[in-house]
Amino acid sequence: MTDGTGLSRRRYEELLDARVRSPRSLREALRQRGRRDLVGPDGRLLVVAADHTARGKVGVGGDPLGAADRFTLLDRLVRLLAVPGVDGVLGSADVVEDLAWLGALDARLAIGAMNRGGVVGARWELDDRMTAYDAERVATSGLDGGKVMIRLDAADPGVPRTLEAVAAAVTALSDRDLMAVVETLPYRTDDAGRAVLDTSHERMVQAVAVASGLGASSAHTWLKIPPSERIAEVAATTSLPILLLGGDSGPDTGALAAAWARGLREPNVRGLIPGRALLYPHDGDVEGAAVRAVEVVHG
């Protein structure tokens, strides 16, 4: 349904009309899309993360609403998924169903976001409850896996509930032979009570160690972590396959690409799962950002 040049306004309006007149067509499109193996011959993956809006993260760089427009988001996702070497997408049900209906997920992986309850800026932000897919719907929707997130802050009482929920989700996905992507991040609470990412080496090692042990089986678990200067030691904490995230790349895209390439030298670092770094690159060149990432992963 797409020609590799992006999403037209006419096609977008047809999608809006389908949501009113034939809502079942969205789920049918997802279940009936062409499927593929999880990994190819090189054993690596490049997946675009597009699940941030489901927890209210709609800012990019200095623009607090830079990622809020849904047409723009879908247009960029369609263009990214048309680039050879981009293996799939991670998203909440609204994004994944839109893309499936548009025909953008044929022969691409689709991973469903699960715990999106940690709304950005809320006092209970780290209480990342299950508000999107569950393992049963991941399976019946024809998805290739599910993604969960844990943000470890020793001072936040919501974190134990998240750990318990994530462990249950990992077990449920494994029971169905489905990929479980576990994003694990160390956090702290600043003096103003805000949740702040803490990527110090010791905390990253601890976060990876905790995430590796979640669930009754780790057979289908992949970890999602940020790149770091000491990625070799962080990766050595686990035998699980790792995907490196991106975040806002800023103007220095070369530094991010170098960090990715350095991480991919580790034997269990098996690819990338960036979001805004590909969707909203500083220079606006979505396809160029995708090609650079493909070269890092599959080149």
pLDDT digit string (tens) for 92-146? 999 999 999 999 999 999 999 999 999 998 988 999 999 999 999 999 999 999 9
Looking at residue 5, what is its pLDDT? 72
Looking at residue 192, what is its pLDDT? 85
pLDDT above 80 for 296: yes
Residue scoring higher pLDDT (100 or 191): 100
Binning pLDDT at 50, 70 and 90, where does residue 233 land?
very high
Concatenated DSSP letters for 83-116?
Answer: STT--EEEE-HHHHHHHHHTTTTTTSEEEEE---
Looking at residue 252, what is its pLDDT? 72
Closest to 136 in 3D by CA, of 163, 168, 176: 176
pLDDT digit string (tens) for 149-178? 999 999 898 899 999 999 999 999 999 999
Average pLDDT over residues 81-90: 98
> Alpha-carbon distance 200 to 223, whole Å?
18
Tell me which residue has tokens 């998924």.
81
pLDDT digit string (tens) for 248-257? 666 777 899 9
Closest to 29 in 3D by CA, of 43, 15, 42: 15
Name the average pLDDT for the chain.
95
Closest to 145 in 3D by CA, of 177, 121, 123: 177
> Please, which residues have CB within 8 angstroms of residue 169's CB and are 6 or more apart in sequence?
114, 115, 130, 134, 135, 146, 148, 180, 215
Homologous superfamily (CATH) for 9-298: Aldolase class I (3.20.20.70)
Question: Could you tell me how far CA 257 lies from the centroid of its own chain?
Answer: 18
Average pLDDT over residues 263-287: 96
Domain boundaries, the chain: 9-298
Q: What is the DSSP letter of 35?
A: P
Looking at residue 268, what is its pLDDT? 98
Looking at residue 2, what is its pLDDT? 44
Plot region of 284 (φ>0 → left; ψ -120 to 50 → alpha; else → beta): left
pLDDT > 90 in the chain, percent: 89
Cα torsion 216, 233, 224, 82: sign: negative
